[in-house]
Amino acid sequence: MKVPTDLPLMDDAPGNIVLFHPHISERARQMVYTQLGTRWIGQGPSVERFESSFSKAFCNGLSTAAVGSGTDALHLAYLLAGIKAGDEVITPLFTCTATNIPLLYIGAKPVFADIQPHSLNIDVDHVRRLVTEKTKAIVCVHYGGLPCDMDELRQIADQARVPIIEDAAHALGAYYRGRSIGSLSEFTMFSFQAIKHITTGDGGILAIKDAGLLPKAKRLRWFGIDREGKQKGTWENDIWEVGFKYQMTDIAAALGLAALEEWHEVSAHRRNLFAAYERALSNVPGIRFIGGGATDRVHAAWLCTIFAKERVNLQRKLRENGVESNQVHYRNDRYTLFRESRGSFPNMDAVEDDYLVLPLHTRMTAADVERIASVIRSGW
């Protein structure tokens, strides 16, 4: 049963530690200002540079299409995967609704899989039981930045002869058994929404293993138009498929290019904060730290999540001490929108009232982590 909480967003006032804060550097501000003085502020050459640089950094050189949001990228992935009305797609119960709503655009049916209670990632054993002849794809989300069990998911997908679509909105910079998230599956989406590791204000990118699908991805993100053909003055080109207004702009790409330049420093800072939380909370009675201690995968350190009994009491005590916390994501079967996808999810039932996300962003220091941990250690 969902335990209600009535805490509003906390003001970003001196002394408060907010849950999220965008990271926009002075370098990013300058690059946007420079971009505004050029011929290109919509989709142009900076988008292409960003796609290329991002692919080299995170996707092992795979084809990439930059778009206006991570949700746009997922919709394109579902279309490129050939998902149609009436098809079933196995997808996480526990995720942002943006993972699953684009399936409804198509008329496909999300088939929810339960979580692993120790990680909040998709339960591969449940996925295996859900596969039917109607299954057309498997979607996974790397919750908080901890990679899912990708080898097991790959085995299931290969046996079912369906693609894997990774929602890696949390997982920029994560690794699974020595391989970067972004290089493993048929399709991988990254989000550049305001509070992600890299932000372009809002935005996303789709990594595509089959390079032959890239031209279609580029058409679909721009009304179904072949932009290269159009820009050459070749008006004989036809539009034969429904496209969308999903392109990234050069203003957004300028933010992204600046973020790539400072990626290593930002990533290292977030990982250090995550490790500090793990050390500070590992032996606190009533607390279980989520996502730490993995030896075969590298956490991207987007969210720091704990399990705490009487979670609402802890959340209120943190607020009394100037610390914002929340649950952030919720089980999707609670929404009327997904009433046709309801089922039995015992693992989610067992923990849905207990998880809590703590602040983790570049405005924080190790001293802030210790302050938060000290409040938690004092009891609630």
List, for residues 320-341, the tens digit of each pLDDT value.
999 999 999 999 999 999 998 9
Residues 182 and 118 in one domain: yes
Q: What is the pLDDT of residues 32-83, one digit of tens each?
A: 999 999 999 999 999 999 999 999 999 999 999 999 999 999 999 999 999 9
Given 211, 244, 261, which residue is the final one in a domain? Answer: 261
What pLDDT does 8 receive? 80
Q: Treating both helix axes as pointing N-terminal to C-terminal, what angle do 366-377 and 263-281 enclose, rounded to 10 degrees?
A: 20
Residues 138 and 275 in one domain: no
**In-domain check, residue 224:** yes
What pLDDT does 233 receive? 60
- SS3 category, 201: coil
Residues 40 and 187 in one domain: yes
Among 29-33, 87-91, 114-118, 233-237, name the one with the lowest average pLDDT. 233-237
Residues 196 and 314 in one domain: no
Given 261, 279, 305, which residue is the final one in a domain? Answer: 261
Q: How many domains does the chain have?
A: 2
Contact 271, 301 (CB under 8 A): yes
The domain spanning residue 350 has which CATH number?
A: 3.90.1150.10
Q: Which domain holds residue 155?
A: 26-261
Residues 120 and 249 in one domain: yes
Residues 352 and 225 in one domain: no
CA atoms within 13 A on the CB side of 365: 4
Given 227, 245, 261, which residue is the final one in a domain? Answer: 261
Is pLDDT at 237 greater than 80 in this prediction? no
Question: CA 63 to CA 186: how far, in whole Å?
Answer: 11
What pLDDT does 1 receive? 46
**In-domain check, residue 132:** yes
The domain spanning residue 88 has which CATH number?
A: 3.40.640.10
E strands along the chain, which residues?
63-67, 88-92, 94-95, 109-113, 135-141, 164-167, 175-176, 179-180, 187-191, 204-208, 287-290, 297-298, 304-308, 330-331, 355-358
**In-domain check, residue 11:** no
